[in-house]
Structures are given as C-alpha cells and as structure tokens.
C-alpha cells in the first residue's frame, strides 16, 4: 500500500539538466530556400549519430542492426521522434523482438520514455515491449519517464507492469523516485509514493530522494515528510509482527 500523501500546490519542475527535448520534426519547414534533399538526409544522419537510437556514439561504430532491412534502427528513430504512424507501420515488418536493444541497452521503449512520447510507448507496450528491462546503466524506462516529469507516461508504465520494479536502482543507485525528485516533478513524486516507492532508499551518494532537492523547496519538505512517515509505518509494522510472534 502506498504512502497516503496529499499533493501540495505546485507544478512539475523544469530542471534543464533533466528535461529531454525531442529532436526537431523531420518535416519541419526549412527557411533556407536553397536547402536540398541531400542536406536533409545529412541532417538525419547527423541526428542518428548524435542520439544513437539506442546506442552511444562510442559503441555505435561496432553495432550492427540485427533486423532485416535495418528496420530496428527506423523503429528507434520513430520512438525517439514520437512518430506514432511510422512506428505502427514499421512494427509488423520488424524481424527481431521489440525488446531488442541498441549497443547501450536502450530499447525502443526506453527512447519513447526518455522523450516523453506516451503514444509511442503505448504502441510499443501493446506490441510486447517489457516495461522493466534495464539498459546498460541499469535504468528501466520508468527512470527516464520519471526524470522528465512525464506524469501520463509514468502512469502508463506503472499500470503496464513497471510497479513491480518501482524501487529498482540504476548504476548510480538512483530509483525512479530519485529521478523524479531531481527533476522537480511533484506530481510524479506523489504518484510514485502512492504506488509503493520507498522514499528512505539511498543512492550511491548516500542520498534519499529528499536529499536531491533544495532545502528551501516545497518538494523537499514534502519528501522529508514522506520519508519520515514511511519509516514510522515500517517501524510500527515491525513492532506489530514482533508482538504477534511473542503471543
């Protein structure tokens, strides 16, 4: 049972270090009338190299798309750009499993979650994408969605199976709650607490989620209260179990 906290007034934060802006749409009008189709193709290639579509630039040179016709790379691209129509068209032609990752372990669902594309995430989940597969850093899609403050996407992932991994930590020891706190989203923090996120867990820097927020911040006070109440509930439960054992 989640911690019964009421959400105080506030809006999700906009920490620029954690907001992931989707790449510009491929068909956005170009103000330069001299631009050619070959230049647009070059831009697409540069975008793919920069973002990796599931793999880091260091590893991408050694990564080969295992799907027939390179469809997996196109799926990554559609998931990252939020192109639902393209994604639905590509998936029937995908010759490998939808959970097949790029070189750094990112699946298409990781990319859709990172960029906040709830429609693409729903399509991928319907196609069999697992909501709790970790990438090479141990992060699951819920980490990405929580970091970006994408409340609807977080709700979707939790409802579709990520609740079982709500307290999973990545390689830095951060849980999705840590990411939500760092990103400043009080809505996502509240939702995660309601779904049994543990606010007392510490990361590799020995910080709880509350420790990642400024002390003068309303979200900090909210998390401190959540942590205190959670610990009190756990202590009361342990005392009750011990008492029953002595009867």
The string of DSSP letters for 20-76 reads -PPPPPTTPPPS-TT--HHHHHHHHHHHHHHHTTSS-HHHHTT----SGGGHHHHHH
C-alpha 147/C-alpha 114 separation (Å) is 8
Closest-CA residue to 226 (of 206, 246, 201, 203): 201
Q: What is the mean pLDDT of residues 7-23?
A: 40
pTM: 0.76
C-alpha 102/C-alpha 129 separation (Å) is 14
Question: Chain-wide mean pLDDT for the chain?
Answer: 82
pLDDT digits (tens, 9 = 90+) for 84-114: 999 999 999 999 999 999 878 899 999 999 9
pLDDT digits (tens, 9 = 90+) for 149-202: 999 999 999 999 999 999 999 999 999 999 999 999 999 999 999 999 999 999
All structural domains of the chain, each given as residue ranges with its CATH number in brackets, are 19-26+35-130 (1.25.40.20), 166-247 (1.25.40.20)
């Amino acid at each position: 049972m989640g911690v019964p906290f009421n959400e105080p007034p506030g809006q999700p934060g906009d920490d620029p270090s954690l907001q992931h802006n989707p790449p510009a749409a491929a068909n956005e009008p170009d103000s330069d009338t001299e631009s050619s189709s070959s230049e647009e193709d070059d831009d697409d290639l540069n975008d793919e190299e920069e973002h990796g579509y599931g793999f880091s630039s260091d590893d991408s040179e050694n990564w080969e798309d295992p799907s027939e016709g390179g469809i997996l790379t196109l799926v990554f691209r559609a998931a990252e750009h939020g192109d639902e129509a393209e994604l639905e068209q590509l998936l029937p032609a995908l010759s490998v499993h939808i959970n097949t990752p790029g070189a750094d372990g990112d699946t298409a669902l990781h990319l859709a979650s990172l960029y906040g594309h709830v429609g693409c995430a729903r399509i991928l989940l319907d196609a069999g994408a697992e909501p709790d597969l970790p990438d090479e850093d141990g992060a699951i899609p819920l980490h990405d969605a929580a970091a970006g403050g994408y409340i609807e996407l977080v709700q979707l992932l939790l409802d579709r199976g990520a609740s079982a991994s709500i307290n999973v930590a990545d390689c830095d020891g951060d849980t999705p709650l840590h990411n939500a706190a760092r990103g400043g989203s009080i809505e996502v923090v509240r939702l995660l607490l309601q779904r049994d996120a543990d606010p007392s867990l510490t990361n590799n820097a020995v910080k709880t989620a509350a420790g990642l927020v400024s002390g003068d911040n309303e979200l900090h006070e909210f998390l401190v209260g959540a942590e205190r109440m959670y610990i009190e509930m756990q202590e009361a439960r342990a005392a009750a179990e011990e008492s029953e054992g002595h009867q």
